[in-house]
């Protein structure tokens, strides 16, 4: 074979090999760190230049690789091969590390390495192009325990009601918390006031550590919607919110502020997250126990008409109902834009807040006032109880064995409702409580003797939160029952020389419906 033809074949074969190598290196450029890629690139440039020159120069009668006794045609390619080998080794080190978890790599990359080369090799997923696939849903995760006392996480709590658990948050006033109405409604009946377990974060139940609310408000139409179209209907979810209250605060912290444009903002897309206490995560099946969970903050456009909104690829679980949907305002602060009311394994449904919810808070104003005012809510608001108080002291005739009546009007109760509970607060000032006979009489004539001349010369008759539920519970039940109208305190001061005055008479009547 003649020399030129052999040299041409050698040159062609070298070019094929180099094209393959160049293709590999260029493809590595998309995923490798700069240092390994640069070393391999420089090495290939040197090798390519040297090899092509060695093949082409003799064909042209040119000697480029001899300078005295040093054979540069051997030394120069060697440098190229060394550079390429080092770069390839570094790339191999990267690939060996790719099986490490993302969290471990990020932690290692943050350490103070003295060698920038080693640091570059360890930051693999981003530099080597190996990324874990993102989760399909934004599922609730347990929060870091250090966040539990930070606002707004510190405003969350478990809501317990008749063996059912839900979630809630303290809103607008330290004595108020919001939850879902369906947590308090079961088998077509409203339950007793719920118990609040604030800042829970435990594997175990917080039973026995909570504060029971005094009462709650809800939309009067909720139970009608449930009866008409079922508890899982959009019309029911639009009214699925309840506001519980107490005479004492549930927290010492600043309560959450509501976003009265929450429904509109969530439809338009705004950074949001959901917090609460799911018993189990629907999508993953993970147990939530009584740990506070949160979805990741993300911008989601919710869909829906009115204030019932839904979105996919978000997963919470049963027990999270009533938990707040936090929206981040233009000032960077969180506000409550709604509550969770429904869900599927990869979908959630919200009751988004509008200005209408101000009506519920307006209904709560009498029980937040000092002194407490009569609680007779507007027709569109349902309440778990009625409350009325004596407006001015009433003096009882001295030494007269006849009844003096002191009336209280608790307004009209819903048709078919019965009495679930009765709580009395009473103070009668006197120097001899043994002179007194006292009774409470309901609108239907049911009565209970409170005091019957006991105590002799002791001063002042005082009852604080006296529970008379057993005496009156169930009365008025049914269409013919009478619980609307006046309740009356009957008092006799049977002996002379000691003036008795009713200075406090407050009555709470819980509704059973």
pLDDT in tens, 156-166: 999 999 889 99
**Same domain flag for 333 and 402:** no
**Same domain flag for 119 and 173:** no
Q: What is the pLDDT of residue 399?
A: 87
Question: Does 323 fall in a domain?
Answer: yes
**Same domain flag for 348 and 429:** no
Which of 302, 336, 356 finishes a domain? 356
Q: Is the pLDDT of residue 126 over 90?
A: no
Give residues with Cβ within 8 angstroms of 416, minimum separation 6. Answer: 477, 478, 479, 513
Q: What is the pLDDT of residue 443?
A: 87
**Same domain flag for 35 and 98:** yes
Question: Does 379 fall in a domain?
Answer: no
Predicted TM-score (pTM) of this structure: 0.71
**Same domain flag for 316 and 439:** no
Q: Is the dihedral of CA 375, 376, 379, 383 positive or negative?
A: positive
Q: Is the pLDDT of residue 364 over 60?
A: yes
**Same domain flag for 190 and 321:** yes
| Pick from 52-56, 155-159, 275-279: least confident | 52-56
Mean pLDDT of 473-487: 64
From 173, 222, 223, 217, select the one nearest 359 (Cα to Cα): 217
From 185, 183, 240, 194, select the one nearest 360 (Cα to Cα): 240
* 303 torsion bin: left (phi>0), alpha (psi -120 to 50), beta (else): beta
Q: Are 53 and 10 in contact (CB under 8 A)?
A: no
53 pLDDT tier (thresholds 50, 70, 90): low
Structure tokens at 458: 């002791």
From 268, 264, 261, select the one nearest 355 (Cα to Cα): 261
Question: Does 249 fall in a domain?
Answer: yes
Compare 418 and 23 and report the one with higher pLDDT.
418
Q: What is the pLDDT of residue 42?
A: 72
Q: Are 288 and 277 in contact (CB under 8 A)?
A: yes
Q: Are 213 and 196 in contact (CB under 8 A)?
A: yes
Question: Does 168 fall in a domain?
Answer: yes
Number of domains in the chain: 3
**Same domain flag for 90 and 162:** no
Q: Is the dihedral of CA 55, 61, 63, 64 positive or negative?
A: negative
Q: What is the pLDDT of residue 23?
A: 52
Q: Is the pLDDT of residue 13 over 70?
A: no
Cβ-based burial of 496 (10 A; exposed 0-12, middle 13-18, buried ≥19): exposed
> The CATH number of the domain where 346 resides is what?
2.40.10.120
**Same domain flag for 159 and 279:** yes
Q: What is the pLDDT of residue 58?
A: 61
Q: What is the pLDDT of residue 72?
A: 54
Owning domain of residue 63 = 3-128
Q: What is the pLDDT of residue 85?
A: 72
| Pick from 53-67, 353-367, 428-442: least confident | 53-67
Residue 145, classed as helix, strand or coil, is: helix
Question: Does 399 fall in a domain?
Answer: yes
Mean pLDDT of 11-17: 49
**Same domain flag for 9 and 115:** yes
% pLDDT > 90, the chain: 56
* 347 torsion bin: left (phi>0), alpha (psi -120 to 50), beta (else): beta
Q: Are 499 and 430 in contact (CB under 8 A)?
A: yes
**Same domain flag for 87 and 47:** yes
Mean pLDDT of 424-449: 93
Q: Is the pLDDT of residue 3 over 80?
A: no
Q: Are 277 and 191 in contact (CB under 8 A)?
A: no
Question: Does 361 fall in a domain?
Answer: no
Mean pLDDT of the chain: 82
> The CATH number of the domain where 398 resides is what?
2.60.120.260
Which of 356, 372, 400 finishes a domain? 356
Question: Does 375 fall in a domain?
Answer: no
Which of 65, 93, 128 finishes a domain? 128
368 pLDDT tier (thresholds 50, 70, 90): very high
**Same domain flag for 346 and 388:** no
Give residues with Cβ within 8 angstroms of 243, minimum separation 6. Answer: 171, 176, 177, 178, 216, 217, 218, 360, 361, 363, 364
**Same domain flag for 103 and 190:** no
pLDDT tens digits, one per residue of 376-428: 888 899 998 899 999 999 999 998 889 999 999 988 777 777 888 899 999 99
Q: What is the pLDDT of residue 33?
A: 52
Residue 153 to residues 245, 277, 278, 316, 351, Cα–Cα distance (Å): 20, 12, 15, 16, 20
Q: Are 104 and 74 in contact (CB under 8 A)?
A: no
Q: Is the pLDDT of residue 16 over 50?
A: no
Q: Is the pLDDT of residue 66 over 90?
A: no
Question: Does 160 fall in a domain?
Answer: yes
Q: Is the pLDDT of residue 100 over 60?
A: no
């Amino acid at each position: 074979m003649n020399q030129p033809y052999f040299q041409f074949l050698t040159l062609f074969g070298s070019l094929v090999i180099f094209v393959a190598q160049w293709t590999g290196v260029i493809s590595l450029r998309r995923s490798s760190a700069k240092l390994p890629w640069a070393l391999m690139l420089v090495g290939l440039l040197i090798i390519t230049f040297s090899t092509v020159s060695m093949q082409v120069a003799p064909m042209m009668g040119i000697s480029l690789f001899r300078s005295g006794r040093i054979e540069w045609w051997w030394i120069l390619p060697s440098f190229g091969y060394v550079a390429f080998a080092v770069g390839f080794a570094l790339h191999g080190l990267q690939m060996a590390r790719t099986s490490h978890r993302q969290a471990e790599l990020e932690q290692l990359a943050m350490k103070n390495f003295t060698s920038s080369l080693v640091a570059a090799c360890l930051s693999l997923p981003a530099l080597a192009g190996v990324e874990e696939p993102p989760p399909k849903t934004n599922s609730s995760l347990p929060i870091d325990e250090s966040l539990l006392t930070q606002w707004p996480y510190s405003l969350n709590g478990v809501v317990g009601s008749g063996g059912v658990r839900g979630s809630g948050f303290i809103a607008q006033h330290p004595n108020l918390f919001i939850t879902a109405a369906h947590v308090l409604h079961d088998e077509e009946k409203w339950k007793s006031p719920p118990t609040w377990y604030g800042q829970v974060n435990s594997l175990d139940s917080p039973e026995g550590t909570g504060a029971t609310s005094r009462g709650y408000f809800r939309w009067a139409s909720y139970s009608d919607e449930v009866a008409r179209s079922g508890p899982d209907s959009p019309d029911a979810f639009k009214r699925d919110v309840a506001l519980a209250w107490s005479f004492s605060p549930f927290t010492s912290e600043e309560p959450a502020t509501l976003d009265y444009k929450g429904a509109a903002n969530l439809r338009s897309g705004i950074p949001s997250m959901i917090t609460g206490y799911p018993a189990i995560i629907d999508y993953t099946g993970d147990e939530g126990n009584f740990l506070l969970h949160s979805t990741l903050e993300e911008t989601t456009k919710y869909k829906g008409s009115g204030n019932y909104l839904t979105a996919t690829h978000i997963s919470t679980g049963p027990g999270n109902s009533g938990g707040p949907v936090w929206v981040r305002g233009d000032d960077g602060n969180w506000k409550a834009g709604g509550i969770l009311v429904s869900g599927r394994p990869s979908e959630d449904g919200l009751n988004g807040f509008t200005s209408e919810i101000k009506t519920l808070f307006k209904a709560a104003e009498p029980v937040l006032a000092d002194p407490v005012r009569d609680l007779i809510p507007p027709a569109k608001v349902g309440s778990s109880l009625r409350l009325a108080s004596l407006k001015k002291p009433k003096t009882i005739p001295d030494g007269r064995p006849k009844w003096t009546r002191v009336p209280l009007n608790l307004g009209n109760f819903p048709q078919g409702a019965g009495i679930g509970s009765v709580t009395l607060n009473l103070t009668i000032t006197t120097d001899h409580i043994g002179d007194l006979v006292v009774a409470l009489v309901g609108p239907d004539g049911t009565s209970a003797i409170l005091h019957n001349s006991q105590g002799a010369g002791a001063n002042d008759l005082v009852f604080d939160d006296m529970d008379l539920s057993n005496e009156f519970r169930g009365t008025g039940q049914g269409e013919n029952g009478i619980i609307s109208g006046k309740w009356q305190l009957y008092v006799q001061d049977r002996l002379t020389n000691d003036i008795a005055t009713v200075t406090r008479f407050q009555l709470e009547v819980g509704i059973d419906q």
